[in-house]
Amino acid sequence: MTDFSHLVHQANLIGGAWVGAESGAVFDVTNPATGDVIARVPNAGEVETRRAIDAAHAAFPAYAALPLNDRVAMMRRLHQAILDNQEALAWMMTAEQGKPLVEARAEIASSAAYVLWFAEEARRIYGEIIPSPVKGRRLMTTRHPVGVVAAITPWNFPSSMLARKIGPALAAGCTVVVKPASATPLSALVWGQLAEQAGFPPGVVNVLTGSARAIGGEIMANPKVRKITFTGSTDIGKDLIRAAAGTVKRVSMELGGNAPFMVFDDADLDRAVTGALFAKFRNAGQTCVCTNRLYVQSGIYDRFTEAFAARVAAMKVAPGHEAGAEQGPMIDEAAIAKMEDLLADALSKGGQLVTGGGRHARGGLFFQPTVVKNATTDMRMNSEEIFGPVAAIYRFDTEDEVVALANDTEYGLAAYAYTQDMARMFRLQDQLGYGLLGINEVAIVTPEAPFGGIKESGVGREGGRQGIEDFLDLKYTCIGGL
C-alpha cells in the first residue's frame, strides 16, 4: 500500500478533529491504473454527519462575524497552500482518479485560481440603496451568508469541483460540510488539512467520507443545512432537489450533459480537430462538458473524420503517472462495460468503427480511444451521456438542421461550434439551448466566467461574479420616521 500519510490524514475532519468512523469502519481507495489499494479512509454515516453539521452550525456565527479582511487573508493563504503543494496534490489525484498528471496539475492550479477569485469576490458582496417612493424612509438591501452549506462532489474532478463550492461558501461567510465521491476521497480530505493550515477556525470546513446514502440522507433531512450544492448525475440531482423540499434548502445543481460539437464547412479544420480531441478525450471522456455528439457538415465530413481519427489513433494510453500519457484508465469496470454496450448498440445500427473499438491491450481499466462514424439519432449514445473515450460522428447538411439536432435533448450544459462565419456565431448564441457555448474554443471554463447548465443540466452557476450569489441571502430593510 502506498503511504499517503505525509500528504493527507486518512481520517475525517469534524469540528477541528481528525477522527475515524464511530464504528471504526473504513473503506479502500484504489488506483484505477493498477488496482492497488492506496489508502483506507473512514466509512462515516449518519452519526458522524450529524456531528459535522453541528460543528459547522456552531462555528458559523463567529466565522460569519469575522472582519472581511481576516476572511480574505485566510482565503489567500489557502490559495497559496494549494499552489505550494501542487505537484504532490496532482500526483495524489492521479493515483486515486487516473487522469494524466498534466491534467491533474492543471486541475490543482484551477482549484487555486477559484479560491483566489472568490477571495477577491468576497470584497464585492454589495447591497443596494433603493429610492423610497415616500418621504422619511430609507430602503436598502444587504446580503448575508446562508449558513451551513453541504457540498457533494463527484470523482471526475475531485479537487476543482470542491474549489467551486468551498471557495464561494468560505468567501460568503458560510461554513461547510463536504462529502466527496468514494472513489476519490483523498483529494477532498486534503482540503481539510489545507484549510487548517490557512487558519480557518475549527468547524468551518468539515470533510466526511463514506456511505452516500447515509451521509446524503442526514444532510438532506437536517434543518441546520441551509444549502446543498451538488455535482453529479442528473438522477441523483433530482433526488436531492426533491429531498431539499423537506426543509426548503437552497439548491445548486451541476448535473449531466449531452454536449454537441458542430463543425461547419467553413471551419478551420486543424483547429476543429484539435478542439474535438480535447473536448472528447480529456479525462478519458469522463467529464460532464465532454463532447457527446460530433456533428460535421457534409462538405468537410470526410476530411475531418480522417484527420480526427488519425490524431485519436496516435494518442498515448498509459497510467497517468507515466510520461507523455494522454489517456489514463477509466474509473471502474462499470464504465468499461458501458462503453462496450454503447459501442455494440451503435455498430448494430449502422455505425462504422474508424479506430479503437474495445478494451486496450494494457488490460485493466484501459479502453481504446475510439471513433465511430455514420452515427445516427436512433443510437443510444445519441441521447445517453457516453462519459468515456468513444467519439460518435454524425453528418449534417444545413445550419437549421444541426441546431435542431443539437437542441433535441433534455440536457443543456455545454455546446461547441467551429465556424468562421461571424453572423452564424451570433445565431448559434441565440438558438442553442445551452448554459455554456464554446465557439472555435473548447477550454472555456475559467473562474471569471459563470459555469452551469440549463434544462435538466442543472440550476445555479459556479464561478463568475454569479458564483457567490447562491451562498448569500438577500435582506431588505426599510427604516422609517427619518
* Sites of contact with ligand ADP (CB under 6 A): 152-155, 179-182, 212-213, 216, 232-233, 236, 239
Question: What residue is closest to ligand ADP based on CB?
Answer: 216
Smallest gap from residue 46 Cβ to ligand ADP (A): 12
Q: Which is nearer to ligand ADP, 257 or 275 (CB)?
A: 257
Among residues 46, 107, 288, 462, which one is catalytic? 288
Smallest gap from residue 448 Cβ to ligand ADP (A): 26
Among residues 96, 254, 326, 462, which one is catalytic? 254
Q: Which is nearer to ligand ADP, 153 or 419 (CB)?
A: 153
288 classed as catalytic? yes
46 classed as catalytic? no
Smallest gap from residue 270 Cβ to ligand ADP (A): 33
Q: Which is nearer to ligand ADP, 212 or 459 (CB)?
A: 212
Smallest gap from residue 9 Cβ to ligand ADP (A): 19
Q: Which is nearer to ligand ADP, 50 or 144 (CB)?
A: 50
Smallest gap from residue 73 Cβ to ligand ADP (A): 31
C-alpha cell at 285: 471522456
Q: Which is nearer to ligand ADP, 179 or 321 (CB)?
A: 179
Catalytic residue ranges? 254, 288
